[in-house]
Amino acid sequence: MKIPVEAGQEKGFLPDGRHTVEITDIQEGTSEHQNVPFFAARMENEDGFITQRFYTSPNAMPILLSLYSAVGIQPEAGKDLDTKQLLGKKVSIEVGEHSYADPASGNERTIKQATGFRTA
């Protein structure tokens, strides 16, 4: 069997710790269980990548605002933020593991996530 490797797939996940990354791709979607809109940002550097989901619910706004502020985009009341503004921006992130109960199965799941957004 031959398994094709597409551009960008040759990198592994970023190891735990602080990294300066570039946001190279944005995909939009809706959560599987609660139908909450999100965008997934691929963040990468020469050491690897991480894809982080950002939900657009009111509870998630502090996280979204910290990401935009860290890349130098200052949110303004009454003006929409465009995810396309994030493409090509550099940001410092903290990569680590996060565990949670899967809503579908109740089983514990562990994922890698990016947090602690800072100006690069």
71 token code pair = 């890349």
Closest by alpha carbon to 69, among 36, 107, 27, 118? 118
Question: Do 96 and 110 meet the contact criterion of CB atoms below 8 Å apart?
Answer: no
Rounded CA separation 117/56 (Å): 17
Cα–Cα separations (whole angstroms), residue 83 to 24, 26, 36, 63, 107: 12, 7, 16, 14, 32
Answer whether residue 47 is part of any domain: yes
pLDDT at 27: 97
pLDDT at 8: 64
Answer whether residue 58 is part of any domain: yes
pLDDT at 5: 76
Rounded CA separation 106/103 (Å): 5
Output the tens digit of pLDDT for each of the chain's 120 residues. Answer: 988 877 766 788 999 999 999 999 999 999 887 899 999 999 999 999 999 999 998 999 999 999 999 999 998 889 999 999 999 999 999 999 988 887 778 889 888 999 999 999
The reported pTM is 0.86
Please give the residue range of the domain that contains residue 110.
Answer: 17-74+82-119
Total domains in the chain come to 1
Q: Give the CATH number of the domain where residue 38 resides.
A: 2.40.50
Closest by alpha carbon to 23, among 110, 113, 93? 93
pLDDT at 71: 97
Answer whether residue 10 is part of any domain: no
pLDDT at 98: 86
